Amino acid sequence: LKSEALAQLKDVSDPQTLNDLRVKYLGKKGALTEILRGMGALSAEERPIIGQVANEVRSAIEQIIDEKQQFFLQQETEKRLQAEKVDVTLPGRPLRQGGVHPLNKVIGEIEEIFLGMGYRVAEGPEVEMDYYNFEALNLPKNHPARDMQDSFYITEELLMRTHTSPVQVRTMEAMKGEVPVKVICPGKVYRRDDDDATHSFQFNQIEGLVIGKNIRMSDLKGTLQQFVQEMFGPKTQIRLRPSFFPFTEPSAEVDVTCVQCGGDGCRMCKHTGWLEILGCGMVQPKVLEMGGYDPQEYSGFAFGMGVERIAILKYGIDDIRHFYSNDMRFLKQFARL
């Protein structure tokens, strides 16, 4: 029995078999236990002899089982250590860093330029009252010019603002007739448009408003000239085309020499050499008056530009929807600019 057990135990290579063999030989119904249990039937002379042999066999088996168990335990530990080994000399994994969204980047740049000219930044609500969005900007109810900006109405008196111009009115109100007023107002605006490559129901504008004594159209033109040169490069020129807005008189649309070709003519400027970038004008006297400024004493200018449009021109982007689709391949291009 001893040699059989020892032979079997020697070849054991996994803990499960070892346990099975332990039960087979030393367990309650094991071979050795059987023998010890049968001892009662033996004579008084035989009993100590057989007992001694049986005990020897038992301790021999126990010993080898112990050794094997020890060995398996060690093997297990080693395997674990091997698996958990850390190579401290490996280079670290690069952290993926987020970047500033191109639109926020452009808004930041525009703000910097105007802050440098002594403007401050003002903001207003995106859910706006009809009064600020239209009425106080000389767009009374049923005015045909309201059609220019198809709106999302919430109630009769509340709508998603269609431009940042209501912040002009709110600023005038807050300034209570004080001058100078010199603000830019960035923010989201909403219009009922079907989205396509050049339209979005939601986009960003930056409004500018200056009020003081003797503010003239030449101040407006000089300001915008300075702005485009800082924004698009020192060679950039502007031209003003007569236009119409109910809240400015006279009104103009402003073009810059093409950012891509410098005015030589390319696909982006449709070979005209010019790109339209904003609307502007001298603040309409009625608007000044409704804002608490006497048009006899004060004058001012205002302008409004689309941030997406500026970004599209500056970076040669072909579809406004890129700004909102969160495609990492698009966004990553601006991470390091």
Give binding residues as ranges: 249
| Cβ atoms 304, 163 nearer than 8 A | yes
Q: In what order do the strands lie in the sheet with 299-306?
A: 120-121, 181-190, 202-212, 299-306, 274-283, 248-257, 238-245
**Contact stretch for ligand PHE (CB under 6 A) within 14-22, 54-62, 268-276, 300-308:** 300-308
Spatial separation of the C-alpha atoms in residues 163 and 134, rounded to whole Å: 10
Residue 211 as a binder of ligand PHE (CB under 6 A): the answer is: no
| Cβ atoms 191, 200 nearer than 8 A | no
Residue of 187, 263, 279, 300 interacting with ligand PHE (CB under 6 A): 279
Residue of 139, 228, 280, 320 interacting with ligand PHE (CB under 6 A): 280
Residue 303 as a binder of ligand PHE (CB under 6 A): the answer is: yes
Judged by CB, which is closer to ligand PHE: 130, or 207? 207
Q: Min. distance of Cβ 154 from ligand PHE in angstroms?
A: 19
**Contact stretch for ligand PHE (CB under 6 A) within 50-58, 95-103, 127-135, 276-284:** 276-284
Judged by CB, which is closer to ligand PHE: 57, or 282? 282
Residue 245 as a binder of ligand PHE (CB under 6 A): the answer is: yes
Judged by CB, which is closer to ligand PHE: 32, or 189? 189
| Cβ atoms 248, 284 nearer than 8 A | yes
Spatial separation of the C-alpha atoms in residues 99 and 50, rounded to whole Å: 85
Contacts 24+ apart (CB under 8 A), 19-24: 21/65, 22/65
Q: Min. distance of Cβ 183 from ligand PHE in angstroms?
A: 12
**Contact stretch for ligand PHE (CB under 6 A) within 29-37, 56-64, 172-180, 299-307:** 299-307
Residue 302 as a binder of ligand PHE (CB under 6 A): the answer is: yes
Query: b/e per residue, 6-16, with b = 16+ CB within 10 A?
Result: eebbeebeeee
Residue 299 as a binder of ligand PHE (CB under 6 A): the answer is: no
| Cβ atoms 128, 161 nearer than 8 A | yes
Binding site for ligand PHE (CB under 6 A): 163, 165, 207, 245, 248, 279-281, 302-304
